Structure 1
Amino acid sequence: MGLLSRFSSDSEPTWGKVLAGLGSLAAGGAIYWLLSRHLGWHRPKRVRVASLYVYPIKGCKGHSLSKARLTKWGIEDDRTYMIVNDKMEFVSQRELPRMALIHPDLPTSKGIMMRVAPGEAADPLLVPLKVDGPEKKVRVWEDWVPAIDQGDEVAKWLSSYLRIDGLRLVRIAKTAQRTTDPKYGIGETAFSDGFPVLVTSQASIDAIRRRVKNAGGPVVGIDRFRPNIHVEGCGPFQEDEMRSLSLPGVQLPLVKPCSRCTVPGIDQQTGTRTTQTGGAVTKTLREHRSGRLMAQSAALHKGFFSESRRADDVYFGQNALVVLDHSGVEISVGDIAAVAW
């Protein structure tokens, strides 16, 4: 009894100290987390270029590159071609998800080879390059951009494969000067939605993939988000707060969060979507990446997300400008980019 009594009296303060210590650790951990969030601890000074992508025809399948030349319009050959309807307005996977199954080769001085996914019924077609000739104004969102029509043969090929009349393939004219929205800095782009480069991170796509899977959705690849520069070495969605990436010869200011439509809900291998709104992918983005939610957590772009018109939009990736030190700048997979916060 004496031994038990002595053990109890000795143990009680010992366990009390342990519990008190654990409480202190928990409190310290919470404080550390808050400081990390607000002061930027654990923000990487560098990230690695994990992959590079170019999409010669807007809305069609892209190419993974080991290295890429940069121009004021972004990665060389990116979205220099575009499919338009009979009103000369661009079409995309939003309306025609089968565009995902058009797999053009990289452009050459001879032109661009049109191909489709294996198993699809359409013969390859070489479209000779046309850079001269009558310019036509084509519409990309609110911009009317000079372009050169690439001929009747490819027009028939597109209309047949995509099952809609009146489609044409155009190439951006050499005279084009399509400026980006001046609210976000000075830049130019070709037929991209609005900015020359889209940056995403591996940690972010991993996080979305897990959430979509947990929601019973499909396996989500980065191809659904169509980035140009995909980086690794940062935490999930840390690119949201990055001000710029710098590589030898080029700076990439990350100026505007990228709002997403229903394209991430389209399976890029089959050209189909489960529902008109993209199913589990769009639902997951809305639950975790809506403007309404981002306004609560964002720092760098808090004012942007706080605009009421953005409340129901969903966001993934960052639009970037291209500031070149000189022409001929190339970047490669494996390059290290310095991060400015």
Structure 2
Amino acid sequence: MADCNGIISQMFIYPVKSCAGIEINQATLTATGLAFDREWMIVDQDGLFLTQRQIPHMVWITPELTSHSLKLKAPDQPTLEIEFNQRGASRSVTVWRDTLLADDMGDEAAAWLDQYLAVPGKRFRLVRFAKDAKRLSSKDWTKEIDAANMFSDGFAVLVATQRSLDILNERLLKQGHETVDMLRFRPNIVIEGLEAHTEDNLSELHLHTASGLVALGLVKPCPRCPIPNIDPYTANSTHEVMDTLATYRALARMDGAVCFGMNAIVLSGIGQTLHVGQGFEADYAI
């Protein structure tokens, strides 16, 4: 018998790393996480990845997925459409400590990014994770499992409990601040039915689908950078979110890093469909 259970209450994907997310009702699970999550990325002229840490208004780049293309929208910009079958020349890109090949999405996409992002001294390219590229999560956390991911910060899936956000918002309100929503933390799967931050102490999530079992291994608390301070609707950054979390979410096992949510890897269930409202079971880590 499982130690605890609950349901998936929300799901999100972020097709272009560090741009706006898409709330979804269901998704196919792949070896690298939810389908289309962090499959594209913006890099500079040197191939180095870029995020809201450097360019907060990246959050206003809004992706849309159709049956055959990725569309990007941004304020005062025409819609950019990129067909799924479009893959340009490979180029070397760097995301954190990993350097790998990615497929360039062409000059039209680059010009669109240059016009919108408009950072002096920077030129931008949109790249897509190459079909034959391979990027693995740190085995320091996966117990030597070869766990694939694409352009995420390091792991296939980010899981957070709804109650964790509720507790944060209660604290923010007591301090006279406005509440925030889950998009600040960019999870893939939000779960209900557990107390705040229970995900810290779980070993695996098991979800029974019509076609078989999905198992996600929860392997590492997610240290938070300043991105949760950025309002996804205004692109303004203030300090109250991270300052508040720092008063109770600095984890000793993460050398005092402020954490929210758990990074997970795919253990089984590739090709299965996950959906909002789906139940799960979980056991505590020993």
Q: Residues 201 and 53 of structure 1: is their aligned pair in 2 closer, same or farther, counting only changes over 3 Å?
A: same
Report the Cα distance in structure 2 between the residues aligned to 1:219 and 1:145, rounded to whole angstroms.
39
2:150 pairs, out of 177, 180, 190, with 190
Deviations 1:80-104 (A, max 9, x none): 0000011111100111110111111
Aligned to 2:14, which of 46, 55, 66?
Answer: 55
Q: Offset at 1:282?
A: 1.0
RCO greater where, 1 or 2, for CA within 8 Å and sep 6 or more?
2
Partner of 1:242: 202
In the TM superposition, what are the counterparts of 1:284-303 in structure 2 within 5 Å? 284-290=244-250, 294-295=251-252
Q: Aligned letter for 2:45?
A: D
**Maintained 8 Å contact 2:88/2:105:** no
Mapping 1:24-173, distance limit 5 Å: 45-106=4-65, 108-109=67-68, 111-116=69-74, 120-129=75-84, 132-164=87-119, 165-173=122-130
CA shift digits 1:253-292 (9 cap, x unpaired): 1000000000000000111113xxxx111101111111xx
Larger gyration radius, structure 1 or structure 2: 1
> What secondary structure is seen at the aligned counterpart in 2 of 1:218?
coil
Instruction: Name the aligned partner's letter for residue 185 of structure 2.
Output: F
Residue identity matched to 2:242: T
Q: Name the SS of the counterpart of 1:322 in structure 2.
A: strand
1:331 matched to 2:286: no
- In structure 2, the gaps of 5 or more residues are none
Residue 106 of structure 1: how far off its partner (Å) = 1.7
Alpha-carbon offset, residue 134 of structure 1: 2.6
Which one is further off, 189-198 or 146-155? 146-155
Question: RMSD in angstroms over aligned alpha carbons?
Answer: 1.5
- What TM-score results when the alignment is normalised by the length of structure 2? 0.92
Matched, 1:175 2:139: no
Q: Give the % identical residues.
A: 37
Counterpart-to-counterpart distance in 1, 2:84 and 2:20:
19
Corresponding residue of 2:230 = 266
Structure 1 residue 226 displacement after superposition: 0.4
Check conservation: 2:87, 2:105, Cα contact below 8 A: no
1:315 is aligned to 259
Partner residue of 1:29?
A: none
| In structure 1, C-alpha distance between the alignment counterparts of 2:175 and 2:45, rounded to whole Å | 40
Instruction: Give the aligned residue type for 2:12.
Output: Y
Work out the CA distance in 2 between the residues paired with 1:181 and 1:204.
26
Alignment counterpart, residue 242 of structure 2, candidates 267, 273, 282? 282
Gaps of 5+ in 1: 1-42, 296-303
**TM-score, normalising length: structure 1:** 0.77
3-state SS of paired residue (1:247): strand
Q: CA deviation at 1:130?
A: 5.2
Determine helix, strand or coil for the equivalent of 2:62: coil
Q: Deviations over 1:27-56 (max 9, x none)?
A: xxxxxxxxxxxxxxxx95211100111110
Greater fraction strand: 2
Distance 2:94 2:184 in 1: 24
Counterpart CA distance in 1 for 2:171 and 2:24 is 28
Structure 1 stretches of at least 4 aligned residues deviating more than 6 Å after TM superposition: none
CA–CA distance in 2 between the matches of 1:199 and 1:188? 16
Give yes or no for contact 1:128–1:150 (8 Å, CA) kept in 2.
Answer: no
Structure with higher helix content: 1
What letter corresponds to residue 72 of structure 1 in structure 2?
A: A
Aligned length: 274
- Which residue matches 2:160? 200
What is the identity, as a one-letter code, of the residue corresponding to 1:337?
F
Q: For residue 193 of structure 1, report the CA deviation from its aligned partner.
A: 0.2
